[in-house]
Amino acid sequence: TQLLEQSPQFLSIQEGENLTVYCNSSSVFSSLQWYRQEPGEGPVLLVTVVTGGEVKKLKRLTFQFGDARKDSSLHITAAQPGDTGLYLCAGVSTGAGSYQLTFGKGTKLSVIP
Amino acid sequence: DSGVTQTPKHLITATGQRVTLRCSPRSGDLSVYWYQQSLDQGLQFLIQYYNGEERAKGNILERFSAQQFPDLHSELNLSSLELGDSALYFCASSAGLGRTEQYFGPGTRLTVT
């Protein structure tokens, strides 16, 4: 069974601070995705990283895929209250012409104004 | 708005009962996925359908079943409900087998009393 561990589980910071969230696994994934979920809603895809060592930026969010494609990080610069939510990483596994997502349990981020 | 719709939004029922959750994918999407989200287990993949056929199974109990109809909407049937089945149930859709991006619906919150 492939497992993804996210850390920290909870994070509460002041507006304007920087933060990093980690997603680690002992398994190799073909790609990795990050989602954000707000209360009462479904997860929303933020980014997909495919190549080991890949770095993608989405405004103040920077996503990195580890060289061995087993881990990833999400860095937020100058956090805003609108960044508050549950951040989920998901490893993509392919096989038999289909694929599955294995989700971590998430990091719950609160940005205090 | 992801374009994926789920009904009902909330469902309260008693142990031993059977319920049906409904999902309509985004227009044009052929793949439908069902997930269960609980506080302790996180987001768990249950089952995937592609163009009416079962494609992949995850951690789905034998008491649970699903199907995808010719118009591509899907239903998840949960029977002999137990207290531990209380959770959020999400449906997601994607364009096809080769696409890893999934679009999640708003979820159905099931409470078993």
Cross-chain residue pair B50–A33, CB shorter than 8 Å = no
- The CA distance from A50 to B4, in Å, is 25
Identify which of B42, B48, B106 has the shortest CB distance to residue A98.
Answer: B48
- Dihedral sign for Cα atoms in the order B84, B102, A37, A34: positive
| pLDDT tops 70 at residue A96 | no
pLDDT the model gives residue B1: 85
Alpha-carbon gap: B52 to the closest alpha carbon of chain A (Å) = 14
pLDDT the model gives residue A90: 95
Chain A residues within 8 A of B58 when measuring between CB atoms: 100
> Tens of pLDDT along A15-70?
999 999 999 998 888 899 999 999 889 999 999 999 999 999 999 999 999 999 99
Pick among B53, B102, B109 to test the A interface (most A CBs inside 10 A): B102
Cross-chain residue pair B100–A33, CB shorter than 8 Å = yes
Cross-chain residue pair B102–A101, CB shorter than 8 Å = yes
Cross-chain residue pair A101–B55, CB shorter than 8 Å = no
| Local confidence pLDDT in tens for the 113 residues of chain B | 889 999 999 999 999 999 999 999 999 999 999 999 998 888 999 999 999 999 989 889 999 999 999 999 999 999 999 999 999 999 999 987 777 889 999 999 999 99
Query: What is the interface size between A and B, counted as CB pairs within 8 Å?
Result: 56
Separation of first and last alpha carbons in chain A: 40
Evaluate whether A60 touches A81 at the Cβ level (below 8 Å).
no
